[in-house]
Amino acid sequence: MGASRPPGRRRNSLLYVFGLLREAGGQGENHVANIGFIGLGIMGNAMARNLLKAGHSVLAYDIVPALVERVVGYGAARGESCRDVAARTEIVIAMLPDGPEVEQAVLGAAGVLEGATAGSILVDMSSISPLVAQKVGTACAAKKVQFLDAPVSGGEPKAIDGTLAIMVGGDEAVFQKMEPILKTMGSSVTLTGAVGAGNVTKLANQIMVACNIAAMGEALVLATRAGLDPEVVFNAVKGGLAGSTVLNAKAPMVIGRNFKPGFRIRLHQKDLRNALLAAESMKVALPLTSSVQQMLMALINDGKGDLDHSAIVNFIEDMAGIEVKPAQKKAGA
């Protein structure tokens, strides 16, 4: 990309003016925007790249300079801090690990709120506690900065393809302004309620995925101990009521002993911890979530925090003293 494009600020301002002109001409749905992007890790890198591919200009920042350079290589401009990115753009997207990083990047010294002007928009796409999302939303409102929480599901492959599921919380008018931009990163973009609702929806998603993987683990361990081939069991059940996207994605990984992430154990532990904290604040008991969160904690302590979350099965295997793997085929069979 970008060899013939003017670099940096000049290109940003030209694209912004062009965007305003197109919007004024009634083509607001597809206008190009001047977007700040903070957090360029596994997900943010691919998402920022899709914004560039869609014709938007991107001003990128991460605390790791090499990650900024990678996105500059796709055609983005280099931001110097979260404050700098917010001061030079009208829309800022953040994709950070967890609540403390979001608070630091938005509310902290040299953060987004030190640079943002009234009327600008901040969209936090990180998976964080809904309580933190609401705190950040309140601080934004005090500065007349519009805020959406918009976590995603789908992982790196869907971030690369631009087919993430995006779950949004916030004001409907702000959602409508952002929807065309979010659709360059996701194929499903849903307003789920007020600020914080996006992260409640994401936590609901993470509870279902984690408990589904754990249940699959118990089922495959039992079948293997009974002398069955887990691959045969998987093929027998996947078309029935137990079939699911999780089963189709994760059972082959477990049976093939491939635990390369994907979605890391430590991130899923963080999500279930946030789910339990949110549940406690609402006096809701989540016994299954609590059990699987403990399994994830034990796996982290066992040095497996950076494995794919399909390795939840390892915890159940260890308790049974057995490994889920295909039956040895007889020679000549």
Q: Which chain residues interact with ligand NAD by CB under 6 A?
A: 38-44, 61-64, 67, 82, 95-98, 101, 104-105, 126-127, 152-153, 155-156, 263, 267
Number of other CB atoms surrounding residue 291 within 10 Å? 14
Peptide bond into 137 cis (omega under 30): no
Measured from the CB atom, is 110 or 298 closer to ligand NAD? 110
Give the residue with the Cβ less far from ligand NAD, 98 or 302: 98
Taking the complex as a whole, the smallest distance from the CB of residue 244 to ligand NAD amounts, in Å, to 18
What is the distance between the alpha carbons of residues 75 and 307, in angstroms, rounded to a whole number?
32
Closest CB 326 distance from ligand NAD, rounded Å: 27
Angle value at C-alpha 242, between 241 and 247, nearest 5 degrees: 135
Going by the DSSP 8-state scheme, the letter that residue 311 receives in this structure is G
- Shortest distance, position 311 Cβ to ligand NAD, whole Å: 14
The Cα angle at residue 150 between residues 148 and 154, in degrees rounded to 5: 170
* Least gap, CB of 47 to ligand NAD (angstroms): 9
Q: In this complex, which beta carbon is closest to ligand NAD, that of residue 23 or of residue 306?
A: 306
Smallest gap, in angstroms, from Cβ of residue 69 to ligand NAD? 12
The residue from 53, 135, 143, 202 that is catalytic is 202
Q: What is the C-alpha radius of gyration for the chain, rounded to an integer number of angstroms? A: 22
Looking at the DSSP assignment, which residues form a beta bridge with residue 153?
165
Rounded CA-CA distance 296/79 in Å is 36
Q: Return the closest-CA partner of residue 45 out of 79, 3, 95.
A: 95
Catalytic residue check, 144 = no
Longest alpha-carbon distance in the chain: 73
Structure tokens at 107: 């509310």
**Which of 15/213 has CB closer to ligand NAD?**
213
Q: Are 165 and 211 in contact (CB under 8 A)?
A: no
Q: CB nearer to ligand NAD: give 32 or 128.
A: 128
Q: Are 69 and 94 in contact (CB under 8 A)?
A: no
Catalytic residues: 202
